[in-house]
Amino acid sequence: PSYDSMTEDRSIESPEHKRPYAEAQQLWLHADEATRDLTAGLSEQLRLILEPTLATKLRGDYKTGKRLNMKRIIPYIASQFRKDKIWMRRTKPSKREYQIMIAVDDSKSMSESNAVNIAFQSISMVSKALTQLESGQLAVAKFGTDAQIVHPFEKPFNTESGIQVFRKFLFDDTKTDVKNLVVKSLSVFSEARASGDSELWQLQIILSDGVCEDHSTLQRLVRKAREEKIMIVFVIIDCINDQESILDMNQVTYVPTVGGPPQLHVTKYLDSFPFEYYVVVHNIKELPDMLALILRQYFSEISSS
């Protein structure tokens, strides 16, 4: 399948801006080593959330089975033993299939805030943990001025894929267009869904320093994603420097007034953050629990709605 609007670069010797192979390899090995201990834990948490063991129920009307359905006994006798489907059997828990896209911010602000290490380690950890689960597909995307798939769903993920993905991340893009990312991702997901089955769960994990414009338009897009049953969770990689934390960042808005100049308001940046399910992470050790937290929250909210 080709994702028209989010095409993967398929050219062999791409003149595209990429990291040298050897450098990407080193980065992958470092990220891999740094996250080795954390990956198993994340994998287990994800297994519990993404593959719930459904209590096996006894169901159905069968000629043989595990347990008699008492309601069928009288009709059985009354029909001269013709209505003989009086047994119930255990049903197999239906296995959920999922598609998870990790979308990572490739803009320059990521390198300004030292989020690069955490981004690389996160890609390594999440991709390895998901690969261990073996019951879904993984894609990796990058975004900045534009959004691009750097590892498609159909391709299995291994060390070599990891290195190729790392080659594509330079963290020097001059814009952080999250709107564009969400729009394009929605079409990738809906295309993937069209050819899949209905039990397909689609999830996007966005990894970014969280600084983006136009929260109100984004809010509408997030709502649209939710309507299309696409889960989006946002992991904000915050800087270690206390004084520059996104938690304390403010923004300014100018509210029009009747017959006067617009009124200046200073508000907390995160108050208008358009992603309902988000966490703020300061170092890689926090990621497994934080990610599990928002995913669990998301699943429990949709199952109760």
Nearer to other proteins, 171 or 298 (CB): 171
With CA atoms as reference, report the closest residue to 103 among 191, 24, 168, 35: 168
Residues near other proteins, by CB under 8 A: 107-109, 112-113, 173-176, 211, 213-214, 243-244, 246, 248-252, 264, 266, 269
| Residue 234 contacts residue 221 (beta carbons within 8 Å) | no
Dihedrals φ, ψ of 264, to 5°?
A: -80, 130
59 forms beta bridges with: 89
When the beta carbons of 177 and 225 are compared against Mg ion, the nearer one is 177
243 binds, among Mg ion, other proteins, none (CB under 5 to 8 A by kind): other proteins
Nearer to other proteins, 25 or 251 (CB): 251
Q: Distance between CA atoms of 47 and 96, rounded to whole angstroms?
A: 11
Residue 162: closest CA among 17, 28, 31: 28
By CB under 5 A, name the binding residues for Mg ion: 107, 109, 176
Helix axis angle, 178-194 to 215-227, nearest 10° = 10
Residue 262 Cβ, how far from other proteins at the closest point, in Å? 11
Name the binder of 48 from other proteins, Mg ion, none, CB < 5-8 A by kind: none
Residue listed under structure tokens 């750097």: 150
Residue with Cβ nearer Mg ion (107 or 180): 107
User: Shortest Cβ distance from residue 140 to other proteins (Å)?
Assistant: 21
Question: What contacts 216, CB < 8 A, 6 or more positions away?
Answer: 272, 274
Considering the complex, state which of residue 222 and residue 246 has its C-beta at the smaller distance from Mg ion.
Answer: 246
Least CB distance to Mg ion at residue 206 (A): 12
